């Protein structure tokens, strides 16, 4: 009697699954894109599990390997719209920025960062994610959550709610994986809509407006206390699960705009002042120069705001307590944001509206999480020689005016509705009257206005427009931004690398072509890599990639590839292979390709566009014996762009001045780029001879002899080594 109903339910569940009814609501699924089957991706439909009445955002497009390699360090990031990067695109999610910082600081590690955020979720959803995240062998979990506890899915003030009882809410979420339960929920929902008809009023406007059912929740009211208790219980459960697996968790304090925004709504109570009155007192205290009092009042006004889109400071106090109790890492975002704000008043300097950071804020958020991960030591010691300052990193990161304009329009649209405009008859839809001020602005405005249009659709067209007009650097910046939006698509790396080639910046071009091959075999990438290695004097690598390119090449390109391969073989001294290729070229009536120039090292002639003017100017200064001026100019150029040529020149100047320690530091930084240049290795022989390091001096001398037996200074260096020995 007990087993039979269970069997019937299981059979019915199986029938529904076989029939294709309902949704697969696993957090992670196999990447559906052809060629990416070895990767998992966050389920684009996962929002269906938590949203029945409203639309949901698809999560970010982060992917990770099904089979985790031993050397891989895997980080999962959890949160809602702030973590998702709103109002920006995915290239400006703090997790994407942080990953590039980690990749740079730990060049020998493979680091996967998987952002699981979707908008309008809260701690109930994060707790539901945990078991599936733990199955994927995380090495760390990052959390930024707490603003949506009242109005996010299953929040006490949300239309997307289930029950005031936490157990029943969690049971509902667990049952949502069942097709039978989905069938029952859909049937009940359809019946309710049929009975209600239009009586629900059809709430219009932004999701921020429509998701709210009970808007006014007073501080320390019953609803407030229920939400806070749920948050604490859910976060405790998350930390306990991670603790059992000994997974380090980094929890970020929450930040809000307390200075640039008045409270959304004020309802005075018997023991509570109206939020707007407290906010005005804060303004008066600030005006009178009492900044500590003003700061306290601004936070008090925010906490009294009865429309609770900004988390109260009770949440931050809980985060601090929970971090201590469960040995998690507390990420001090509140202090950092305050320290980067005048008078410690976090406002429009770092925020776009109430809780979402602007570009400065997102970079600051990424840097703070990055610093905490580095300080924790879980990844080992970072490579200090390859890391840059946060300012340098931001200057060279992939985003453009197109990103900031899109965010501007999204925020402006958001502020046209409740709760920014309490009486929407006083507001207006600026989309009707707005006239873009430029082509770029027009693209951004179109993306904001048209839900079917994505920034990834218009950005390549803008980049190609720049290319056609000869604005290669501007084109590169758009391709770089596109690459950060979609870092798992090979063509994005190839497009950025092609622009870098045109700007004569070969090392990052080589790196991007190599990265593209992780996702897609490509004749073009292999051929260009062969050309770059040929220029660098790395003939073995050039041969390897030209051979790969030949096998991938269309018929019409094979002659050209064979000619390049022939050149590389001649320069490498591979006479038999060169002879075979020569015969093939003659048979193909392409003997003209056999006339190749004498072997010369030319890589040092390629000076990156971003720093070319200053490097060329510094070269002239060196010729005029103005070395100190050249040093100052070159070192300042490194603050803008870390050029391999600038580093080499600085090292050579220090060597000439007799500062061997600094010379070695700068020359070692670019050793991999110039290690096939006899003139570059000459410097190392001199440095090691000066330090009486015979073994390293001899090793570099033998490498010079191998690369160029006719090197002009070979005899002199040999004699110097013999004298020292």
pLDDT at 199 over 60: no
- How does the average pLDDT of the chain come out, rounded? 92
pLDDT at 225 over 60: yes
Domain ranges of the chain: 18-257+308-395, 266-304, 605-724
User: Cβ distance 444 to 405 under 8 Å?
Assistant: yes
C-alpha to C-alpha distance for 714 and 121, rounded to whole angstroms? 68
Q: What is the pLDDT of residue 553?
A: 96
Q: Going by C-beta distance under 8 Å and a sequence separation of 6 or more, which residues neighbour residue 452?
A: none
Q: What is the pLDDT of residue 13?
A: 60
Q: Going by C-beta distance under 8 Å and a sequence separation of 6 or more, which residues neighbour residue 353?
A: 257, 261, 411, 414, 415, 420
Give the tens place of pLDDT for each residue, 394-445. 999 999 999 999 999 999 999 988 899 887 666 567 788 899 999 999 999 9
pLDDT at 202 over 50: no
Q: Going by C-beta distance under 8 Å and a sequence separation of 6 or more, which residues neighbour residue 221?
A: none
Q: Is 7 exposed, middle or buried (0-12, 13-18, 19+ CB in 10 A)?
A: exposed
User: Cβ distance 608 to 504 under 8 Å?
Assistant: yes
Question: Which range among 158-167, 176-185, 250-259 shows the weakest confidence by mean pLDDT?
Answer: 176-185
C-alpha to C-alpha distance for 302 and 686, rounded to whole angstroms? 65
The β-bridge relationship of strands 249-252 and 329-331 is: parallel
Give the tens place of pLDDT for each residue, 490-505. 999 999 999 999 999 9
> Where residue 203 falls among pLDDT bands split at 50, 70, 90?
very low
Question: Which range among 2-6, 101-105, 486-490, 536-540 shows the weakest confidence by mean pLDDT?
Answer: 2-6
> Where residue 725 falls among pLDDT bands split at 50, 70, 90?
low
Instruction: For 452-475, give one letter per residue: b (16+ CB within 10 A) or e.
Output: eeebbebbbebbebbbeeeebebb
Q: What is the pLDDT of residue 197?
A: 55
Beta-sheet strand order (sheet of 63-65): 28-30, 39-42, 63-65
> Where residue 208 falls among pLDDT bands split at 50, 70, 90?
confident
User: Region 174-189: what's the mean pLDDT?
Assistant: 75
DSSP letter (8 states) at residue 144: E
Question: Tokens standing for 679?
Answer: 């003139």
Domain spanning 18-257+308-395: CATH superfamily? SGNH hydrolase (3.40.50.1110)
Q: What percent of the chain has pLDDT over 90?
A: 80
* CATH (residue range 605-724): 1.25.40.10
User: Region 66-79: what's the mean pLDDT?
Assistant: 96
Give the distance, in angstroms, between the CA of residue 334 and the centroid of all CA atoms in the same chain: 22
C-alpha to C-alpha distance for 712 and 702, rounded to whole angstroms? 14
Task: Write down the H helix ranges in 261-332.
Answer: 275-287, 291-304, 313-325
> Where residue 6 falls among pLDDT bands split at 50, 70, 90?
low
Same CATH fold assignment for domains 18-257+308-395 and 605-724: no
User: Cβ distance 330 to 253 under 8 Å?
Assistant: yes
Q: What is the pLDDT of residue 681?
A: 96
Question: Which range among 125-129, 351-355, 663-667, 708-712 shows the weakest confidence by mean pLDDT?
Answer: 708-712
Coil, strand or helix at 37: coil
Q: What is the pLDDT of residue 200?
A: 46
Give the tens place of pLDDT for each residue, 464-478. 999 999 999 999 999
pLDDT at 192 over 70: no
pLDDT at 204 over 60: no
User: Cβ distance 49 to 74 under 8 Å?
Assistant: no
Q: How far apart are the first and last CA of the chain?
A: 95
Sign of CA dihedral 666, 670, 675, 678: negative
pLDDT at 88 over 70: yes
Q: What is the pLDDT of residue 174?
A: 84
Q: How many helical (H) and strand (E) elements, i.e. helices and strands, does the chain have?
A: 33, 8
- Global pTM reads 0.92
User: Cβ distance 83 to 143 under 8 Å?
Assistant: no
C-alpha to C-alpha distance for 157 and 155, rounded to whole angstroms? 5
Question: Tokens standing for 381?
Answer: 């010691």
User: Region 134-146: what's the mean pLDDT?
Assistant: 98
Give the tens place of pLDDT for each residue, 479-491. 999 999 999 999 9
Coil, strand or helix at 88: coil
User: Cβ distance 97 to 380 under 8 Å?
Assistant: no
pLDDT at 558 over 70: yes
Reading phi first (left if > 0) and then psi (alpha if -120 to 50, else beta), residue 302 is in: alpha
Better pLDDT: 17 or 701: 701
Query: What are the Cα distances from residue 167, in Å, to 49, 184, 386?
Result: 17, 19, 50
Sign of CA dihedral 621, 625, 627, 632: negative
């Amino acid at each position: 009697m007990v087993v039979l109903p269970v069997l019937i339910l299981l059979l019915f569940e199986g029938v529904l699954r076989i029939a294709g009814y309902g949704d697969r609501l696993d957090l992670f699924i196999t990447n559906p894109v052809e060629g990416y089957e070895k990767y998992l991706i966050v389920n684009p439909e996962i929002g269906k599990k938590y949203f029945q009445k409203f639309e949901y955002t698809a999560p970010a497009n982060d992917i990770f390997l099904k089979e985790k390699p031993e050397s891989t360090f895997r980080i999962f990031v959890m949160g809602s719209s702030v973590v998702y990067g709103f109002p920006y695109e995915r290239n400006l999610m703090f997790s994407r920025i942080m990953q590039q910082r980690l990749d740079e600081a730990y060049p020998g590690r493979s680091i996967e960062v998987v952002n699981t955020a979707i908008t309008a979720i809260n701690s109930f959803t994060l707790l539901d994610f945990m078991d599936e995240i733990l199955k994927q062998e995380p090495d760390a979990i990052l959390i930024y959550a707490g603003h949506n506890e009242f109005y996010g899915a299953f929040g006490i003030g949300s239309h997307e709610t289930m029950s005031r009882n936490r157990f029943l809410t969690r049971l509902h979420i667990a049952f949502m994986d069942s097709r039978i339960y989905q069938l029952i929920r859909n049937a009940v929902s359809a019946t309710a809509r049929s009975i209600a008809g239009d009586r629900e009023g059809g709430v219009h406007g932004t999701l921020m407006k429509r998701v709210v059912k009970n808007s006014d929740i007073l501080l320390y009211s019953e609803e407030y206390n229920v939400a806070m208790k749920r948050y604490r219980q859910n976060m405790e459960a998350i930390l306990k699960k991670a603790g059992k697996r000994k997974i380090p968790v980094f929890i970020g304090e929450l930040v809000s705009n307390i200075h640039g925004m008045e409270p959304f709504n004020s309802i005075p109570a018997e023991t509570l002042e109206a939020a707007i009155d407290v906010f005005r007192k804060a303004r008066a205290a600030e005006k009178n120069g009492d900044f500590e009092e003003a700061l306290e009042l601004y936070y008090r006004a925010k906490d009294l705001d009865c429309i609770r889109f900004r988390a109260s400071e009770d949440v931050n106090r809980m985060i601090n307590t929970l971090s201590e109790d469960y040995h998690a890492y507390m990420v001090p975002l509140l202090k950092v944001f305050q320290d980067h704000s005048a008078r410690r008043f976090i406002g429009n300097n770092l925020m776009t509206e109430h809780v979402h950071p602007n570009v400065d804020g997102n970079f600051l958020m990424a840097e703070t999480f990055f610093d905490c991960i580095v300080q924790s030591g879980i990844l080992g010691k970072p490579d200090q020689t390859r890391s840059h300052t946060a300012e340098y990193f931001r200057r060279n990161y992939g985003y453009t005016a197109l990103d900031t304009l899109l965010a501007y329009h999204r925020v402006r649209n958001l502020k046209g509705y409740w709760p920014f405009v309490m009486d929407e008859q006083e507001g207006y839809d600026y989309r009707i009257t707005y006239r873009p001020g430029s082509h770029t602005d027009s693209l951004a405005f179109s993306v904001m206005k048209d839900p079917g249009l994505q920034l990834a659709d218009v950005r390549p067209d803008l980049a190609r427009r720049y290319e056609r007009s000869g604005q290669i650097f501007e084109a590169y910046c758009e391709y770089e931004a596109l690459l950060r939006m979609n870092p798992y698509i090979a063509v994005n790396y190839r497009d950025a690398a092609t622009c870098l080639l045109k700007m004569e910046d070969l090392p990052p071009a080589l790196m991007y072509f190599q990265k593209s091959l992780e996702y897609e075999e490509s004749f073009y990438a292999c051929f260009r890599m062969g050309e770059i290695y040929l220029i660098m004097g790395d003939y073995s690598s050039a041969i390897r990639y030209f051979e790969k390119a030949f096998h991938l090449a269309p018929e019409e390109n094979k002659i050209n590839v064979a000619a390049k391969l022939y050149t590389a073989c001649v320069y490498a001294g591979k006479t038999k292979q060169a002879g075979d290729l020569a015969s093939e070229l003659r048979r193909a009536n392409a003997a003209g390709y056999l006339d190749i120039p004498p072997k010369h090292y030319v890589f040092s002639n390629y000076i990156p566009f971003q720093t070319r003017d200053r490097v060329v100017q510094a070269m002239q200064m060196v010729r005029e014996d103005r070395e100190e001026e050249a040093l100052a100019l070159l070192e300042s150029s490194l603050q803008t762009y870390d050029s391999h040529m600038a580093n080499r020149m600085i090292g050579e100047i220090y060597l000439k001045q007799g500062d061997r320690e600094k010379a070695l530091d700068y020359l070692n930084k670019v050793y991999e780029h110039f290690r096939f240049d006899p003139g570059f290795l000459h410097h190392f022989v001199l440095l090691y001879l000066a330090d009486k390091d015979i073994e390293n001096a001899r090793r570099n001398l033998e490498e010079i002899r191998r690369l160029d037996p006719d090197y002009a200074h070979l005899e002199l260096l040999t004699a110097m080594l013999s004298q020292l020995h």
